[in-house]
Structures are given as structure tokens and as C-alpha cells.
Amino acid sequence: MINFRDYGRLLVDEPLNKHTTFKIGGKAKYVLFPNSEEDLIKALKLARGENIKYLVLGRASNVLVDDKGFNGLVLILKSLDRLTIKDNKITAACGAGLRELANFALENSLSGLEFAHGIPGSVGGGVIMNAGAYDSEMKNFVKRVRLLDKDLNILDLSNEEMDFGYRHSLAQDKGYIVLSAVFELKRGVDYSGIKEKMDDFFKRRSSKQPLELPSAGSTFRRPEGYFAGKLIDDCGLRGLRHGGAMVSEKHCGFIVNYNKASSKDVKELIEMVQKVVYDRYKVKLVPEVKFIGGDNGDSCNNGNEWSR
């Protein structure tokens, strides 16, 4: 067996449904939780040297893992979760949760990240996908980003160099891994004001999104000029079931695992929804969820995952 144990907590032949928010997925040959950036880099070098496929995830919250699993190394970065503060700037390691980051900002009376409190993904994934909600997004507050390029060189890029756009960044295009990010936030808002805004966002999210069921967040990207959930609802697909997967009755933009769904159930339901919406409105719905493993999923690293 390849000795990945030197670089963190290692699980062998591990079911990935234990680690994804969708609660779906077959086994990975190796699952590693690196102890540090250095261990992450060493593990990647070892995987490359041994010609082992690998995938780097933040908190596995925007992924659909195939029932056949992933025949390689899955690195989950949730142990790299350090948060530090200097003046009005927070430096967040890639594996820190966006919810934890927002709470850390709240504890220090810094405003700007209230929108991120209900997003279940990681800082790394949030930066790569320019996570956003409630008319705000990561690019408004990211000052600098430390990344690992495909040659395992460490880069330090400014906000402008990250080329942020809607659910987009340079890191996504290049397949870079985010190591950490510096967020420049606002002072002058008291704790109670920040908390009130955060609680309001959470209540709105809880009332409209199916947080009580496993999912990978919003299933589709927002098509230009439309809202995916409304298109799906207008097609009469609310509550549509296929195997153990279902178009959420609470929010049609979510496909949920309501009864031990397989990845096949979810993929086929996604295709069904795409076809009906296209046939009726000629709008192509593009999945926001990443497909991993199997015959058509990602076979190697494409950057940290992000989920809403």
C-alpha cells in the first residue's frame, strides 16, 4: 500500500457517501485528510510519482460521487481550517467552512460575510467558484489568494488577478488549488447589527431551501435572464421523483436525496429536467454540481470543490 499515512489521517476503501452532503457515492481507494499545506503538497507529489489519480475537495458539499466510487486518492482539506485576524483582515485556510468564517467575522465585529453564513462549502471552494448569495459574493471581500498551481508552485494573487466572475475565477480555469485567502472586511457595524443580518439571511434560506434533506445545494447554474428553479416549476416538475431522487417540493432548483438515492437516480433526474426545460423554453440548464468517478466524472484534480 502507498504510504500516505505520513501526511494525515488516511482511510482505505472508504465509502464516500459518509463524507458528501448528498450522502451518495461509492468507495475511494484512499481518502486522506492532510495535516498541513506541506503534507498536502507531499501527498500530491507521491500520488503523481505513483501515477495515482487524485481529487482535491474542500468539504465535499457540491459533488455527486458515482456509485462505482473513485479509483484513486481523494484529499479532503477540512482539517486545514485555521482562521487568524489582523485589523480588519481575516486570513482563512482553505478547509475552513464558510459558516465558520462568517461566525469568526461576527465574533470580531467585522461585516461583509453575513451572506456566507448559510453556505455549507469551504473557503477554498467558495473562492474558486466565487460563491455568492443575497446580492453579494466572495470577490467583494477577497484581498489576496494563495494557490497551488499544477506544477505544485505556490502563487500569491490579488483580487484582480483572480479574474472573478459569476461562479468563476482564474483558479477554476487553471485547475489551481486554493491554500488560503485574505478577506478585507468592514468595521463600524456593531455585533448586534451583523448578527441580525446574518439571522435574517439564515431564516430566509431555511424557509426556501430544502436544508432538511441531503443535497449538493443548487443543482443548476442560473441561466442568463432566468431562474432555474422557476423554469423547472413552470414545467410542472416540482416534486418529480426518480428512484430515490426528487426535485425538491420546497425549491425546484434543488434535487434532493429523499430515499437512499443512487448517483444514477440523480444523474437521470438531472437529464430529465434538462430535457423538459429545453423542449419547452429552449433554455439549457447547466449543472452546478460536480460529477466524480465512474465513466464520465472527473478523473483527476480540478481544484477545490465548492457548494452552496
- CATH value at residue 240: 3.90.78.10
Residue 299 forms part of a structural domain: no
- pLDDT the model gives residue 149: 95
- pLDDT the model gives residue 295: 56
- Of 111, 122, 218, 307, the catalytic one is 218
Calculate what percentage of the chain has a pLDDT beyond 90.
84
Residue 171 forms part of a structural domain: yes
C-beta of residue 147 within 8 angstroms of C-beta of residue 178 = yes
Provide the 10 A C-beta neighbour count for residue 297: 18
- Of 59, 146, 167, 308, the catalytic one is 167
- pLDDT the model gives residue 133: 85
Overall domain count for the chain: 3
Cα gap 60→70, rounded to integer Å: 13
Specify whether 167 is catalytic: yes
Residue 301 forms part of a structural domain: no
> In terms of domains, do 228 and 187 share one?
no
Listed in sequence order, the DSSP H helices in 23-166 are 37-49, 98-107, 123-128
> In terms of domains, do 89 and 187 share one?
yes
pTM given for the model: 0.89
Residue 176 forms part of a structural domain: yes
- Of 14, 114, 288, 305, the catalytic one is 288
Specify whether 196 is catalytic: no
Specify whether 288 is catalytic: yes
> In terms of domains, do 160 and 230 share one?
no
For residue 192, with 0-12 CB atoms within 10 Å meaning exposed, 13-18 middle and 19 or more buried, which class applies?
exposed
> In terms of domains, do 115 and 68 share one?
no
**pLDDT-wise least confident of 13-17, 105-109, 121-125, 134-138:** 134-138
- pLDDT the model gives residue 1: 61
> In terms of domains, do 126 and 70 share one?
no
Residue 298 forms part of a structural domain: no
Q: Kindly give, in sequence order, each residue whose CB lies less than 8 Å from that of residue 61, ignoring residues fewer than 6 positions away.
A: 20, 21, 120, 121, 122, 125, 216, 217, 305, 306, 307
> In terms of domains, do 95 and 203 share one?
yes
Residue 44 forms part of a structural domain: yes
